[in-house]
Amino acid sequence: MIRPISAGVVSALVAFTSSFVVVLTGLTAVGADAAQAGSGLLAVSITMGLASIVLSLRTRLPITVAWSTPGPALLATTGVVDGGWSATVGAFAVVAVLIMLTGLLPPLGSLMARIPTSIAQAMLAGVLLQLCLAPVTGLAQDPWAVASVVLVWLVALRWAPRWSAPLAFAAAVVVIAVHLLRTGASLPAAALLPRLELTAPSLSVGAVVGIALPLYLVTMASQNVPGVAVMRGLGYEVPWRPTMLVTGAGSLLAAPAGGHGINLAAISAALAAGPEAGEDRSRRWIASLTSGIVMVLFGIGAAAVTQLVALAPDGVVAAVAGLALMGTFAASLRGALADPADQLPAAITLVTAASGLAVAGISAAFWALLAGLLVRALLRWRRPSPAA
């Protein structure tokens, strides 16, 4: 019993501390103020925890639910869309509905599968590139503060790679504490209490096309599909329809509070479903149950970490987010360039997404996907041979 519980605690700890800064960065970039970003972090933490609890109890499988780390990375490069924060919340709700429909309508899942992996991964790599530059640019903004975070990350990457991002954040906490002592700033006690900031959703073309569709694609291609593959590799078959319905419903519940959505865990899934959770495979569901409970507790403390991040020196938080995404960026880059025949379309997709250029109020991620697909189709098009 001890091993599944400890594995679940570690799974939740790594999942939260390694990327919550990315969530806050993404929500802030699309128009959320500090209170709304904290509310969004609280909402996704609690709903992903509850979803893990529901699925593990219902299926007796170690199914772990997470937030999409590439999702807020996409938001961070999108910026405020037409309709502002309200339209962004509406886009989150659209993604939730699409996820539920994916579980109910097999053809929608089949359509998703037809999008070339190279193009989807190239779009993700282009989105992540801007954020992964933050540690480099941060060294110019505040060399000593950012350098200490990068140094801790590098050492941890060598000796404890699983903990590299959490330890980088721990180093950032020390930097922030020193900064607060030097400036005399303090954390307001009232702002540390958990609080939901509800927003009535609205819809705009820019939000649906520029946020909802790329976010849905990224969530499915980089989280849900790999999550199923990881679980299958560990000997577990994820029930597709119930999982999509639970995660979609959780995403819809979190949307008005600013949550960008939840999905199957991919990388962290192995922590709760692998050998670390005990030799008895039939008891490993306890690990995902424990992970869900701990994640709910983390969600309650989301306001406190949001306030802490808000007081950080310039460049430090962005550097932590960039370091947390380095592994994902490397993986997406490998996936984008793996097929030699698709390397040029993938490169065009990547640079278009990395440009950050929005046209007609629609984000670069959508135009990158469109450009990559068009170039790929053109290069693969063959003129019919003349009749003999």
Helices (H), the chain: 2-29, 34-59, 70-78, 84-104, 106-113, 117-132, 134-141, 143-159, 164-183, 205-207, 213-219, 225-233, 240-254, 269-273, 285-300, 302-310, 316-324, 326-337, 343-355, 364-380
Q: Measuring CA to CA, which residue among 175, 153, 109 is closest to residue 317?
A: 175
Q: What angle do CA 24, 77, 128 make, to 5 degrees?
A: 90
What is the per-residue pLDDT across 162-207, written as a single tens digit (0 to 9) for each?
Answer: 788 888 888 888 888 888 888 776 666 666 677 889 999 998 988 8
Helix (H, G, I), strand (E, B) or coil at 362: strand
Q: Are the CB atoms for 41 and 323 separated by under 8 Å?
A: no
Supply φ then ψ for residue 67, to 5 degrees.
-90, 160
Q: What does pTM read for this prediction?
A: 0.80
User: Measured between alpha carbons, how far is 212 from 272 in angstroms, rounded to an integer?
Assistant: 30
What is the per-residue pLDDT across 321-347, written as a single tens digit (0 to 9) for each?
Answer: 888 878 878 888 898 888 888 899 999
pLDDT of res. 259 = 93
Helix (H, G, I), strand (E, B) or coil at 178: helix
Look-up: residue for tokens 């306890």?
286
**Exposure of 23 in the CB half-sphere (CA atoms within 13 A):** 29
pLDDT of res. 344 = 93
The model's confidence at residue 388, banded by pLDDT at 50, 70 and 90, is very low
Q: Measuring CA to CA, which residue among 39, 83, 44, 94 is closest to residue 217?
A: 94
For the chain, domain boundaries: 2-137+191-315+326-379
The model's confidence at residue 290, banded by pLDDT at 50, 70 and 90, is very high
pLDDT at 387 over 60: no
For residues 25, 30, 35, 41, the Cα torsion angle rounded to the nearest 10 degrees is -50
